[in-house]
Chains A and B, each alone.
Chain A
Amino acid sequence: MSDASPTGLTVMEDVEGGGRTLVFTSRIVMAANTTLQLSLLFAYLYLRANNFGAMWHPSGIGTPPQVLALLSVAFPVVTLLALWAVWSAVSKARESNAINGLLWLAILAAVLTGAVRILLMYQFNWELDSAGTYADIATLWYAVLLGEFILVGLWMLSLVMGHVRGNDRLSPAHARAVLDQWAYITGVSIAVYLLVQYVK
C-alpha cells in the first residue's frame, strides 16, 4: 500500500529508530558517563595536588591488594573479548551454537568481575575517617565502577536470556550497544586501576 506524498518523499507508518537509536543512545550514555568519570578524576587530582593537611595519603595507608586489583580488570577483559566475538558473529548473521557458549562465557566473566570487585573492596581495610582522601576517592570510584559493571551485566544477562530461550534473537545493534558499554567501563576501570595503584 505504497503512497507517495506530493513532496516526493515516502509516507511511512512510523519512524522506527530501532537499532540505530539504540547504538546512538549507547554512545550518548557513554558521553554522560564520561562527565561522571571526569568529575571523579577531577576530585582525585584536586585532592592529591592540594594535599590538605598532608592528609592525601598518610603514611601507613596502603594501596588495594595487587592480585585482586589485577583480577578485577582481567575478568572484564575476558567478558569484552567474548562480547566482541558475539557481536562479530551476530553482525555477520552467523547462526551457530558457539554464540550461546560465548554469551555464557561473557556472563560468567561478568559475574566473576562483580565478585572480585566486591572482595577487593572488602579487602581495602581502610578506616575511612582517618585514612586520608586517597582512600576516600579510591573507595568511591571502585564503588561507582562496581555499580556500573552490575548494571551493564544485568542488561547483558537480559539479552542472553532472551536469546537462549529463543524469545528474542540477539540483534547486531543490541550486541554492539552492550559491547560498547562494557568496553567503555572496562577501559575506565583499567585507567582507574593504574591511577590508584601508581599515581598515589
Chain B
Amino acid sequence: MDAVTTARPPMSTPPTLARRLNEWGLPLGVVGSVIGFIIGFAVGTHAIPYSFGEDNSLGSDPGILLGYALSVVGFLAGMGFLNYPIGRLLGARRPSEEDNAYMHGEGGGLRRYFRMTTDHKVIGLQYLVMILAFLFIGGLGAMFIRTELLTPSPTVATAQSYLTLVGLHSTLMIFMASAAIIGPFGNYFVPIMIGTRNMAFPRVEALTFWLLPPAGMILLSTVFLGGFTTGWTGYAPLADQNVLGMDSYLIAFALIGLSIGLSGINMIATILTKRAPGMPLSRMPIFVWSVLVTSFLGALAAPALIAAVLMEVFDRSYQTTFFVPAGGGSPYLWENLFWFFGHPEVYIFVVPAFGLVMEMLPVFTRRPLWGYRVAVGGMVGIGLLSFVVWQHHLFVSGLAPSLRPFYMFSTEMISVPTGIIYLVSLGTLWRARTRFTVPMLFIFGFFFNFLIGGFTGVFLSDVPSDFTLHASYFVQAHFHYTIMGGEVFALMAAIVYYLPKMTGRTMDTKLLRFQFWAVFITFNGTFISLISVGILGMPRRVISYAAYLQPLNISASIFAYGLGLSMALFLGILLWEVVIKPRVAASNPWESLGVEWQVPTPVPTFNFDRIPVAWSLPYDYDSGKPAADFGPAVPALSGA
C-alpha cells in the first residue's frame, strides 16, 4: 500500500478500429438490434410455428420473443459489449491502461454519453437523463388515464386500449422507479463516498444501464402488437391468453430483472471490497448503507422474477402449462413468484430514498445525523423482513386461512423498522438550525407523504380491512403516496442538491420553491381524492365507474393535470438551467462535509489523485471537521 501519485498516460497511439467503432456505439447498437430482431423473428417464427395467444397476423409468440431477445443481443454487440469477452475467449491480452482510460471516457467529451463507458459518473448521468425521459413518458400516460376517468363511461379509449395504457404507465414507472435513485446517485456517488476510483466491475455497471433503454423501447412497442391487459403485475392466466403485446412486457421485465440483479451484485462487491482505508462499515455514509441493503434485495429478489418470466415465456412459446389450470398449472404460482420479487421491489424504491434523505438532513440542519446505528439497523431490518411478507398480496386470492395471521403479522412487523428510520430521520431535526432550502422543502414533503403512505399501508396489511380495500383505488393511492410521494420527492430533492456536483450547474430557487408548493398541493389533491374513491369502492383498472364517484374523479383529474404541469415545470427548469442557459454553481453550495463535496467540480476522471483516508462519518457539523484526509493538494489529473 505504498503511496504513489501517478498521472495516467496521455492518449498517444492512434485509435484502434474497436475504439473508432465504439465512438458510434449508439447508432451501431440500433443497427445491431434491427438485424438481431429480423434474425430472431425469422428463426422463431419458422422453427417454432406456434402461438399460445390469439391468432395474430403480426407473427407468432416464439418469433416475437426470439426477435426481441436477439435484438437486445444485437444492440449490446453494436454498443461494443461483446468486444472484451470475445477478446478474452480468443486469449487476447488484457486491455492496456490506455485502453482502460479510453473506455473510462477520458477526453471523450459529450460523445461518451452516447456510447459504452466505464466511468461511473458518466453512467450516473446517463441513468438520470434516461429515467427523467421515461418518467415523462409514463407521466403522459397518467394524464391520458385521468382524462379518460373524467367521465363514468368510456369516451376517449376502449376498454382494451385503456388497460394497455394503464399497464404501460404502471410498468414503465415501476421500471424507472427501481433505478431512479441507485441508477443516477448510487452509481455516481457511491464510489466517491467510499473512496475508490471505480466500481468493482465497470463493464457490468455499463451493462446494467444499457439494458434499460432496450427494455423501455421494447415495452413501448407493445402498442404495435395489441398491448397487454394485465397491468404491471402480469397476472396469469390473463397473461397466457393475451395477444403478442404481452411478449413485450415479458422481455422488458426480464431485462429489468437482469439489470437490477447485476447492479445489486456489482454494488455489493464494490462497497464490501473497495472501501478506502479507515472506512469500516461503521463509518460508511448512510446513503451507502441504503444502497448496500437495496443491492442485497435486488440481487436476491430479482432471480425469482426471472424464474417467473421464464415460465411465462415457456408457456407462451413452448406450450408448457405452468400457469394454465387445464394443463395442471396454477395462476397462484405466478402470484407467489412475482410477489416474492415484487414486495422487496417496493423497498428497492424506498430504502435508498430514505438513505438520500438522511444524507441530506445533516447538511441542512447543521447537526450530526441522529441515531446512525439505529437507522442502519432499521434498514437491515426492512431488508430481512421484506422477504417474508409477499403473501399479503394474496390475502384475497384463496390463500390458506391458516397462513393469513403469519403474513399479517410479518407485514405489520415491517412497519417497525420503517417507523424507526422515519423517527430517526426526524430526530435529526430536533432543535436544529434548519436551512429551508429547496431540497429541504422536498424532504419535508417526503416526510408528510410517506406518513400517509405508511398509514394507508397498515390497513392493507390487516386481513379484514384488506378484504374491503383490495384492488380498489385505495391501494393505488397508497402505492403512489409511498413511491411518488416518497421516492420521487426524494429524487427531486437529490437532483436539486447534487446537480451542482454532477454538472457544475444550479437551478433557480425562486421558481423551484413555487414548483415545490405546486407539486406538493396537486399531488396531495390528486391522491387524497383517489383514497376517497377507493374507500367508496371504486376498483382499479376499470374504464367505467358508478356515476356518484364522478365528482371525486373530476377532482383527482384536475389536480393530476396540475401535478403534470408542475412536474413538467421541474423538467423545464432543469433543462433551461443546465443545457439552454447554464447557471454556474458554487463548488460546495450547501457547505457539506461529505467526501463527494470535497473533490473538485467537475469530478476528475478517476475521482482522486490519491485515495483518501476516512477519518469519521461525514456528519460532524458540530465541529465542522472534514470526514477524510485527502493528503497534500495535488492538481486534478483531468477533468470529467
Contacts and interface: CB of A to CB of B under 8 A. Distances in A.
B200 interface: yes
A53 B330 CA distance: 10
A52 B236 CA distance: 15
16 contacts: A3-B631, A15-B274, A21-B200, A35-B302, A35-B304, A43-B337, A47-B329, A47-B333, A52-B325, A53-B325, A53-B326, A53-B327, A128-B318, A133-B320, A133-B328, A161-B90
Interface string A141-185: 000100000000010011001101101100000000000000000
Interface stretch (B112-120, B154-162, B557-565, B609-617): B609-617
B273 A32 contact: no
B611 A35 contact: no
A136 B319 CA distance: 9
Interface stretch (A22-30, A71-79, A92-100): A22-30
A86 B524 CA distance: 63
Contact of A28 (B92, B265, B306, B325): B265
A139 B320 contact: yes
Contacts of B6: 13
Interface string B152-184: 000000000000000000000000000000000
Interface stretch (B219-227, B275-283, B403-411, B590-598): B275-283
A5 B276 CA distance: 13
Instruction: Give the interface size bracket for A toward B.
Output: 35 or more
In the A-B complex, the 3 residue pairs with the smallest Cβ-Cβ separation, listed nearest first, are: A55-B328, A161-B91, A39-B307
Contacts of A15: 195-197, 274-276, 611
Nearest to B86: A158
Interface of B: 1-6, 85, 88-94, 195-197, 200-201, 261, 264-265, 268-270, 272-278, 299-304, 306-308, 310-311, 314, 318-322, 325-330, 333, 336-337, 340, 610-613, 615, 629, 631-632
A113 B1 CA distance: 43
A184 to B, nearest CB: 14
Dominant secondary structure at the A interface: helix
A190 B270 CA distance: 33
Contact of B337 (A32, A33, A39, A132): A39
Given A11-B277, A132-B327, A136-B320, 19 more contacts: A7-B278, A15-B197, A15-B275, A17-B269, A17-B273, A24-B273, A31-B299, A32-B264, A35-B304, A39-B307, A39-B337, A46-B336, A55-B326, A56-B328, A133-B327, A136-B321, A144-B310, A162-B94, A167-B92
Contacts, number: 201
B328 A13 contact: no
B333 A43 contact: yes
A129 to B, nearest CB: 4
A123 interface: no
A135 B299 CA distance: 29
Nearest to A140: B314
